[in-house]
Structure 1
Amino acid sequence: MAISIILLFLPLIFFSSFSSSTIDRLSGASSLSVEHADDVLTSPDGVFSAGFFPVGDNAYCFAIWFSEPYSEGNRTIVWMANRDDPVNGRKSELSLRKSGNVIITDAGRLTVWSTDTVSASSVFLYLHENGNLILQNSEGGVLWQSFDSPTDTLLPQQLLTKDMQLVSSRSQGNYSSGFYKLYFDNDNVLRLLYGGPEITVYWPDPELMSWEASRSTFNSSRIAFLDSLGYFSSSDNFTFMSADYGERVQRILKLDFDGNIRLYSRKYRMDKWTVSWQAMSQPCRIHGTCGPNSICSYVPHFGRKCSCLPGFKIRDRTDWSLGCVQEFNLTCTRNETGFLKMSNVEFFGYDYGFFPNYTFGMCENLCLQICDCKGFQFKFIKHAHPSNIPYCYPKTQLLNGHHSPNFQGDIYLKVQNTLPIQEIGLDCSSTVVKQLNRTYTKHQENASLKFVVRFAMVVGSVELGVIFIVWCFFIRTHRNSSAEMIIDPKLEGKYDKGRMEILFEVALKCVAEDRDARPTMSQVVEMLLHQENDTELV
């Protein structure tokens, strides 16, 4: 009898425990606590979850994420409510008021975020299957939704309109608002903007007119949309398709902290995200990467690298966005000023003006006349007629510098004559480098790496020894043979017979039975050099 009663109530017990840890909606006068890990809203299909997410030590933000992590403990955040105002890990909560307002309060009961909504009828908060957090009244009216206030991510079926913008996070682990924005400009064009100490637009290419970048300024609707198949369309005529267009996969369009906007996709829930499209193929053309008076260069397999201009030193080693500061005093006296040529280097903007048909000498004199001139860009621009026209761009500031072998132009940096006047190249593959007077903190030696290196050296030595022994054995067995019998027949006689004979002779002497008859290394080198000299004389 007792067993029958237990079996009767077992489904109820199971359902009760399941429902307590899976919440599909929040009704009036209820809340989610930061202290309860199970206080999480889940979409009907289980793909998305919403709750308090740790963003630092005792710091939490209410967020929406993919329920399945892409790696151990790493969840993909798609939206945050209070990204710039994290709350305490104790006594903080998200509450749905009877008045129809949703608020997030800190431990001190201070409201840090609110939907600012009011409803005379009952309301409830739920998470849709598309990742949209919706506040709805009993009549079915939507009072508020997270799709209307995106952070750094756009989901399929989510619109980006003239009243919205994507804002990057500050860094890889810092979810607060960063310096980059994706938005519709007043000319109806979708743009990427760097909003640091200096505000500049860098996508589409600012050197191009809108029509040259295949953008239209005539559609004032300002709407962009990503569908579930990987097709993106904007009202300014900008469109793209993902590399895996048509596949049924999870997708997110994200403005990353590095200023590039990328479309990510993954086929299975536990898979890692892969990039299926990105706006900027040359990452060093993203503004604000390295800060003033510095240059960004791209190193394959390592990414972007920042370096100070000659005569400058880094301002803050922990933050390259602050750039570099000048180490010399620049005067306006001509006989104390010179120029350093830096090939294939470009600095965007902050031109004193642009001067066509200026010779190099005219451009140099113009920069010398302007005390605020930091240097000048000099390049030739092709026009309809056969000859190229030289253009002069005196620079009052050196911002957004980047090095690219494809850039056909040079920058001439104004410096003191005491600095070496020479041409400076930024070819990372070159063995010639310019040493900067900096000090670096020495890292602790890696014992594991040292062991691996030593082990590799020992193995290499053993391999060389084995090869030498095999060669000696081969020579011994063919001591009475001629060089022609040993040489690989695949060479088909295409070799220097004299050199082969001397090599054969040296090899025989090296494996002589009498150790005292074997030549020393210096004698071997002398014999080989003697053969080289004889060959040159012939």
Structure 2
Amino acid sequence: MHRAQNLSMASLILFLFLSFTLFFTALAQQRYSNISLGSSLTPTTNSSWLSPSGLYAFGFYQQGSGYGIGVFIAGIPQKTVVWTANRDDPLVHGNATLLFAGDSGLVLEAQGQTNQVISTSESPYSASLFDSGNFVVYNSDRHIIWQSFDYPTDTLLSTQRLKANSQLFSANSQTDHSRGIFRLAMQADGNLVQYAVSTATVTTQDAYWATGTDGQGNNVTLNLDDDGHLYLLNFTGFNIIMNLTDGRYPTQKTIYIVRIDFDGIFRLYSYNLTQNGNWSVLWSSTNNKCAPKGLCGFNSYCVLNDQEPQCLCLPQFTHVVQNNWTAGCERNFFPESCKDDNGDIRIQELTNTVWEDNPYSVLFLSIKEDCERACLEDCDCVAAFFKDRQCKKQRLPLRYGKRDMGDSNSALIKVGKSISTTTDRVEPGKKKSDQLGRGILIASVSIVALGLVMLAISGILLYKSRAQPYKRINANENIVLFVS
């Protein structure tokens, strides 16, 4: 009996020990810093509020010659921004002040102006930065009235989720955290999809990656656990719809983030806090850097050069803005005729290239040469796609172009036989109008010159006719003139 009591006591002690261990572990994971009303930050002194472990920071971070405001991983050599406030606002200078005010929330005072950084539905009382990277604002009852986890920018942290009808927007570049040109949308239909930001009305052609989980119901969420498990959860919050990764990665001294990068690819990263190395990619939505639609603008197409993307213009097109691929390309030639009447235009072929397929006319032709001829004889046709005996006529602009060596599509581009650059190009009809203008000018000058000659001759004749009577009067001096 004593032995049974001893076993029961030992079991109770073990249970209490495990309970307290789990409690304090959970408590440690939920540690937070306390930020009181009236606290302030400046970019050059006291620039951020740290989480208890010092891993995360909220405040000013340097970007180029100015400063942005957000949450960043401060406890590693490569400070990594994971959330940005008002990301499209201009950067601030070193004399700015970030103030946690009781009546208006978190405000930025710079150059005599006050701008809202975090706006809350009710008066804030305190704020905290958790070791999870979540920045939280409380009211006087210690209820959460705002948190950064509800407003992700381009990154999700461990334990954070992307809710239905929410989106992540890529950064503009690796060092510019303003909004870029790609987005990841957790749609209401349960599908997780990547699009170009410029897409106004999205269609299946505008997506370049998707989980294909549409029809799974409302309130599907994207979740990231602290072991790198990335998955879609249905509206009940219990049933996993899809595993993007299986997880089970190390949890000790390792952090995980998932981000839509500035190049349009969605990636899961890990970082070992004990090695102070680089971020490691564990998973990505694609390995093809030409896959993101919108990377190359209108009338250009993406090719891989040593696995790095490069945007090329259509033949006889030039970049609208140099070194800005997304601006696209424009024509640098203007043929005298839209048809091949004078031999001014021809077809140039781009093999193994694919584009958005939006034809205004589809012809079924046996050979590619017939498709070329059909485009040359059609003023509306600027390009034609030929594949599987289908000739698809296209108008400008062409978009979402990329080279795909596994696709037999041929893009037949209508070009001029001679190229005039953008600095000296002549638009159709302008040459004839210039010649007509020069003719009118020459005729006008000739008429004016002829008029001047006629005027001179008339003046001479008039002078002679008046001079003759004057000579006759002088010859007869005895003549007296009088008036009766």
Q: TM-score, normalised by structure 1?
A: 0.63
Q: Is the 8 A contact 2:206 2:293 kept in 1?
A: no
Q: Distance in 2 between matches of 1:224 and 1:267?
A: 24
Runs of 4 or more above 4 Å deviation: 198-208, 235-238, 353-366, 436-439
| CA shift digits 1:237-284 (9 cap, x unpaired) | 453117x74222211111111111111111225221011111122211
Q: For each residue in 1:410-432, what CA deviation from the matched residue of structure 2 results, as whole angstroms up to 9, or x when unmatched?
A: 1111223558xxxxxxxxxxxxx
Show structure 2 runs of 5+ residues with no match: 1-31, 235-240, 424-484
Give the Cα–Cα distance (whole angstroms) in 2 for the partners of residues 185 and 179 of structure 1: 18
Partner of 1:410: 410
Bigger Rg, which one: 2
Q: 1:47-92 CA distances to partner (integer Å, 9 max, x unpaired)? A: 21111112232x222211112234xxx4111011132224533442
1:305 aligned residue (290, 310, 316): 310
The C-alpha deviation readout for 1:316-353, integer Å capped at 9, x for no partner, is: 22212222221222543243443222110111244325
Give 1:391 shift: 3.4
Contact 1:187 1:217 in 2 (8 A): yes
Root-mean-square deviation (CA, aligned residues, Å) is 3.2
CA distance in 1 between counterparts of 2:43 and 2:418 reads 62
| In 1: Cα distance, 2:205 partner to 2:224 partner | 19
Unaligned runs of 5+ in 1: 1-22, 381-389, 420-435, 440-538
Kindly indicate whether the alpha-carbon contact (under 8 Å) linking 1:285 and 1:400 is maintained by their aligned counterparts in 2. no
Instruction: Report the equivalent of 2:265.
Output: 260
The residue identity in structure 1 corresponding to 2:85 is: A
Distance 2:303 2:421 in 1: 20
Partner SS for 1:147: helix
Check whether the contact 2:169–2:181 (CA below 8 A) recurs between aligned residues: yes
The Cα shift of 1:114 comes to: 2.8
Residue in 1 aligned with 2:393? 394
- Cα–Cα, structure 1 residues 27 and 377, in superposed 2: closer, same or farther, change >3 Å? same
Q: Residue 339 of structure 2 contacts residue 378 of structure 2 at CA under 8 Å; is this kept in 1?
A: no
Identify the residue that residue 379 of structure 1 maps to in structure 2: 387
Give, as a single letter, the amino acid of the residue that structure 2 aligns with 1:182. L
Partner of 1:33: 42
Deviations 1:367-390 (A, max 9, x none): 44653322111223xxxxxxxxx4
- Separation of aligned partners in 2, 1:181 and 1:167: 4
Residue-pair matches, total = 379
Once the two structures are superposed, residues 79-113 of structure 1 have per-residue CA deviations (whole angstroms, 9 ceiling, x without a partner) of: 11132224533442222222372222323132142
Output the amino acid matched with 1:221. N
Amino acid at match of 2:296: C
Query: Structure 1 residues 257, 126: closer, same or farther in 2, change over 3 A?
Result: same
Name the structure 1 match of 2:356: 348
TM-score, structure 2 as length reference: 0.70
**Corresponding residue to 1:116 among 92, 101, 120:** 120
Q: Distance in 2 between matches of 1:43 and 1:277?
A: 28
In structure 2, distance between residues paired with 1:206 and 1:79: 25
Name the residue aligned to 1:285: 291
Partner of 1:94: 98
Say which SS state the counterpart of residue 313 (structure 1) adopts. strand
The 1:232–1:205 alpha-carbon spacing in structure 2 relative to 1, beyond 3 Å, is farther
Residue identity matched to 2:299: N
1:231 partnered with 2:229: yes
Paired position in structure 2 for 1:321: 326
- Measured after TM superposition, the shift of residue 193 of structure 1 is 1.5
- Pairing 1:172–2:179 present: no
TM-superposition CA deviations, 1:493-513 (whole Å, max 9, x none) = xxxxxxxxxxxxxxxxxxxxx
**What corresponds to 2:249 in structure 1?**
246
**Alpha-carbon distance in 2 for matches of 1:203, 1:281:** 21
The percent identity for this pair of structures is: 27
Name the counterpart of 1:217: 215
Deviates more, 1:131-140 or 1:345-354: 345-354
SS at match of 2:267: strand
Conservation of the 8 A alpha-carbon contact between 1:24 and 1:126: yes
For 1:203 and 1:75, the matched residues in 2 are separated by: 37
Is residue 193–residue 203 contact of structure 1 (8 Å, CA) maintained in 2? no
Q: Which amino acid aligns with 1:333?
A: K
Structure 1 partner of 2:33: 24
Query: Aligned partners of 1:281 and 1:230: how far apart in 2?
Result: 19
CA contact 1:105–1:112 (8 Å) conserved in 2: no
